[in-house]
Chains A and B, each alone.
Chain A
Amino acid sequence: MAELENPSSMAVSAASGEASFSSSGVQNEPGELPPPKKKRNLPGMPDPDAEVIALSPKTLLATNRFVCEICNKGFQRDQNLQLHRRGHNLPWKLRQRTSKDIRKRVYVCPEPSCVHHNPSRALGDLTGIKKHFCRKHGEKKWKCERCSKKYAVQSDWKAHMKTCGTREYKCDCGTLFSRRDSFITHRAFCDALAEESARTRTLTIGEASEGNSNAKVAMASPPQPPLTPSTSVVSPALSIQSSVSENPIRLSPPSSNVKCLPATTVANSTPSCSTTVFASIFASSSAAPSQASSTLSSYSTMMSNLPCSDCPTTTPTLSAIEPTSLSLSPSLYLSNNDSSLFQDQRDPRHYTATPQPALSATALLQKAAQMGAAASNASLLRGLGLAPATSLAQNDSTPTQWNSCIKTENHPLPDDDGLMLGIPSAGNTGFANLMMGSSSFGGQPMTRDLLGLSIGGSGGGASVRGGLSALLTSFGGRFDVAGSSTGGRNAPAED
């Protein structure tokens, strides 16, 4: 019986002499009997009625455990052995597997120093004991390419390969996570800091190790870091330098996969691969807006691990430091608490918003809106904030179908079709004067136009001049007046 169950161990025992059988049920000392209904044993507590089998290491490691007793051919699986035995045309009696009495078997580890060597800690599953022996006491023959983790059991290795690199979360601050939940928790606290650091990049890179950054980021309210004073302009140069020097170290170990960042950052290679590949594709494919070109080239050359040194200050720090953001010191985060940094940061942005002496169009629109913000009772104009001046707010004359489109109920919109920007100040410019000048209009029904654009200004009826020519002549007359360029315009409504 024992032979059939463990034929190889039989064969081996002669050679190794290690195998021992204790076929009687061993009463285990931690004597509580598991409830009879339970099929599965409590972990770590084998069935006291079980038969304890001790197999030799060779047995455990052997792959062809099942050996045909007739021809001594070995098989990995029992079923395969049975199939094979059929071929021997055994007489019926011998064909049966003699197992009248199926007893639960538990297995102990042959390694004396191992916890599971004790029968009371025997493992219930044959495959389990084999894997255990392999894992703990065996040679680690399987190695993960990406992260160099070694495994003795092939299935462990396969399971790892499925997840290695696919689900790595890396925070901006450089901390790596394999679990999504811990990553998200971290990010909630780290995010704000990470963003600030991404934008400023004006500090030198102090400590380079990720361990440091982790530890320091964990600090809730850090004291004034010694590096804060260096938020001045000098530091960008320094930070570029140190990042440049850092880069080769971090990124230099070449890897076979050209597309991905090399080995040291290989742990998070896949996501960052896509990062850099995506971004670099788009970065390098973009045309060169003049200021951005050098930056873009630096970004794509980042793939070859060497940011160019002559990039404009702000952006190359971003791109150069970007893969090595793990190496950025906590001082970046810490210094973000420093308000002066924030101010520094704001100015350049503010500056770039108005690159030319002229205001940007967006700024102009906002200014126009502000100027007209006073005394607006027209919802239409409220949109832009352009409203008639209070003097004209009579609105009693016939509302044209002006902006009844805008739901004003029966709120008559100003019949003043001129959208006064409401410049109250005395005109310092011709423009303002124009505005002021025409505010002298009384309640003209319709077309009183601030700028005198309307012909004959007055009400519906008179406004049709019948043709463009009349338009032009009336226009002409007025323009002489307008040409004077200082206030004192006649009310255009006459004529």
Chain B
Amino acid sequence: MMSLSPSLGSPYPWLRELKSEERGLYLIHLLLTCTNHVASGNLENANMALEQISHLASPDGDTMQRIAAYFTEALADRILKAWPGLHKALNSTRLVMVSEEIMVRKLFFELFPFLKVAFVLTNQVIMEAMEGEKMVHIIDLNAAEPAQWIALLQVLSARPEGPPHLRITGVHQQKEILDQMAHKLIEEAEKLDIPFQFNPVVSKLENLDFDKLRVKTGEALAISSILQLHSLLTSDDEAMRRRTPLLTKCSNGSHLQRAVPMNQSSLGDLLEKDNRYSPSPDSASSSPASSIASMNMEGFLNALWGLSPKVMVVTEQDSNHNGSTLMERLLEALYSYAALFDCLESTVSRTSMERLKVEKMLFGEEIKNIVACEGAERKERHEKLDKWLQRLDLAGFGNVPLSYYGMLQARRLLQSYGCEGYKMREENGCVAICWQDRSLFSVSAWRPRK
């Protein structure tokens, strides 16, 4: 903690005397200052800001302290990317354990109502669309949480006309997760005596081979996309950058300069306002082979349209974390994650390990991605609902307003959660799930327009 020369005593005695509110305000100020420095390439100043923050921020303090901790880590990560060797070295021994990832996802599902509400709404839309259908095929673009489909199975088995023959195609990057899902769902279907089939597709979304989905013409198809579509915007960014030779040139140039980092002006170039640089030379952008296979948003949506689903339900984060400049993104992210951290503060104790894990391994990573990464690396490109409405409309989808029943169920679920901060509101037939006034997630239903 004491990075200064040992001859100094505690450098900021007055810092400790700050009350929580003042400290919070100070932290905000410091964060923004630091971001400014980073954005303008002012490493030394950024460093000092980080230093100051380090005395105040803490992952197990109050909300603002926690947020500051993760944001500064992200900012530091961003700065460090200018030294790719250093950056890689520091990250070389990182362990990525699938079990941890699964656990964190489960925690997100349990500690927050967002996923549950999304599931309830999605399932209700599917139920309504599939009334009277005898064969139902569902494509889950992020097959990680069996609870959603277990609930659907239970409701389907109680249908007056009896359950349909259900086929679920689950897409996910990790085979283990798909195996687990298959196991749980098949078990449930057997219990309920529903003819059921689970087809796993191990793939990233951007490389998804639509043939593997095995959609039969004319079958009753439903698509569920929960917090997945935004990562496809990455490829859009890539495509745009490749089209602009100037920027590419710039990025190449700075690549060379990166090897000699100590010149401040070069740093300034690197961390330039355009913020369109490739952080590491071997990112996907510079290797054409991988980018050919990856689809961009338009292509993906068109492909989905081409499957002729009866209905598609899209759940996305409802915040603009895809701004072109660092400062824009950081400001938005501050607000969104402040709301998310507040949720936890209001519902979970500060000493809870689960809370810490969610904050660090889920939110912390998202923040890092939003703040520190650019180009192909930056996957967390959340956007606001109106952008999604436009995009889906452009791709030939018409909005299907969520039914009163669906919203009623979702509202009841939120209410049963027992925390008054969670709210839900309807906008243009879509649902926005909020914490106090801040909209965090949106759910909307679509069907291909004729």
Contacts and interface: CB of A to CB of B under 8 A. Distances in A.
B33 A419 contact: yes
B409 A383 contact: no
B283 to A, nearest CB: 21
A290 interface: yes
A274 B66 CA distance: 39
A358 B147 contact: no
A367 B28 CA distance: 10
B7 to A, nearest CB: 8
B142 interface: no
A475 B48 contact: yes
Interface string A243-277: 00000000000000101100000000011011101
Contacts of B13: 483, 485
B36 A287 contact: no
A429 interface: yes
B367 interface: no
Contacts of A451: 29-30, 33, 52
Nearest to B124: A274
Interface stretch (A8-16, A227-235, A397-405): A397-405
Interface in B156-185: 158-161
A384 interface: yes
A341 to B, nearest CB: 16
Nearest to B336: A362
A115 interface: no
Interface in A271-299: 271, 273-275, 277-279, 281-283, 285-287, 289-292, 295-296, 299
B107 A356 contact: no
B413 A279 contact: yes
Nearest to A404: B273
Interface in B36-66: 36-37, 39-42, 44-45, 47-49, 51-52, 62-64
B444 to A, nearest CB: 19
B4 A472 contact: yes
B42 A417 contact: yes
Given A290-B348, A348-B420, A360-B342, A483 B11 contact: yes
A417 B120 CA distance: 47
Contacts of A380: 36, 327
Contact of A368 (B29, B328, B420): B29
Contacts of A400: 40, 42
B210 interface: no
A471 B131 CA distance: 70
Contact of A353 (B51, B335, B418, B436): B436
A275 B158 CA distance: 12
B46 to A, nearest CB: 9
A187 B404 contact: yes
Contacts of A322: 412, 415
Given A166-B131, A279-B416, A364-B64, A483 B14 contact: yes
Interface in B251-278: 264, 268, 272-275
A417 B325 contact: no
Nearest to B107: A287
A289 B349 CA distance: 8
B416 A315 contact: yes
A362 B339 contact: yes
B347 A289 contact: yes
B259 to A, nearest CB: 18
Contacts of B341: 361
A319 B415 contact: yes
B416 A402 contact: no
Contact of A360 (B8, B159, B326, B345): B345
Contacts of A392: none
B326 to A, nearest CB: 7
A172 interface: yes
Interface in B395-450: 404-405, 408-409, 411-413, 415-421, 435-436, 438
Contacts of B363: none
Contact of A279 (B110, B409, B438): B409
Given A260-B158, A270-B160, A286 B110 contact: yes
B158 A421 contact: no
A362 B335 contact: yes
A260 to B, nearest CB: 6
A282 B154 contact: no
Interface string B96-113: 000000000001011101
Interface string B341-382: 110011111000010000000000000000000000000000
Contact of A358 (B12, B21, B161): B21
A319 B416 contact: yes
Given A278-B409, A453-B33, A364 B21 contact: yes
A401 B272 contact: yes
Interface residues of B, number: 100
A488 interface: no
B110 A384 contact: no
Contact of B116 (A282, A295, A352): A282
Interface residues of A, number: 99
Contact of B413 (A282, A365, A384): A282
Contact of B44 (A283, A359, A471): A471
A356 B268 contact: no
A283 B155 CA distance: 16
A136 interface: no
B5 A476 contact: yes
> By CB atoms of chain B within 10 A, which of A260, A352, A362 has the most?
A362
Contact of B421 (A259, A277, A352, A359): A352
A292 B419 contact: yes
Contacts of B412: 275, 279, 318-319, 322
A365 B18 CA distance: 17
B331 interface: yes
Interface in B208-233: none
B26 interface: yes
B33 A449 contact: yes
B6 to A, nearest CB: 11
A214 interface: no
A278 to B, nearest CB: 5
Contact of A295 (B20, B326, B417): B417
Contacts of A34: none
A275 B33 contact: no
Contact of A283 (B28, B326, B342, B416): B416
B190 interface: no
B338 interface: yes
Nearest to A195: B411
A381 B33 CA distance: 10
A165 interface: yes
B295 interface: no
Contacts of A183: 404
A289 B354 CA distance: 10
B41 A361 contact: no
Contacts of A292: 347, 417-419
Interface of B: 4-5, 8, 11-14, 17-22, 24-26, 28-30, 32-33, 36-37, 39-42, 44-45, 47-49, 51-52, 62-64, 67, 107, 109-111, 113, 116, 119-120, 123-124, 127, 131, 147, 150-151, 154-155, 158-161, 264, 268, 272-275, 324-328, 331, 334-335, 338-339, 341-342, 345-349, 354, 404-405, 408-409, 411-413, 415-421, 435-436, 438
Given A360-B338, A479-B12, 11 more contacts: A169-B404, A259-B158, A273-B158, A285-B147, A292-B418, A318-B412, A364-B64, A368-B29, A401-B41, A402-B39, A453-B49
Interface of A: 161-162, 164-166, 169, 172, 183-184, 187, 198, 257, 259-260, 270-271, 273-275, 277-279, 281-283, 285-287, 289-292, 295-296, 299, 312, 314-315, 318-319, 322, 348-349, 352-353, 355-362, 364-365, 367-368, 371, 380-381, 383-384, 386, 400-406, 417-419, 421, 429-431, 446-447, 449-451, 453-455, 460, 463-465, 468, 471-473, 475-476, 479, 482-483, 485
The 5 closest A-B pairs by CB, nearest first: A405-B273, A361-B338, A405-B325, A282-B116, A358-B20
17 contacts: A172-B408, A183-B404, A273-B155, A275-B409, A277-B155, A282-B119, A286-B116, A291-B347, A296-B417, A357-B20, A417-B45, A419-B29, A430-B17, A431-B25, A450-B29, A453-B49, A472-B4
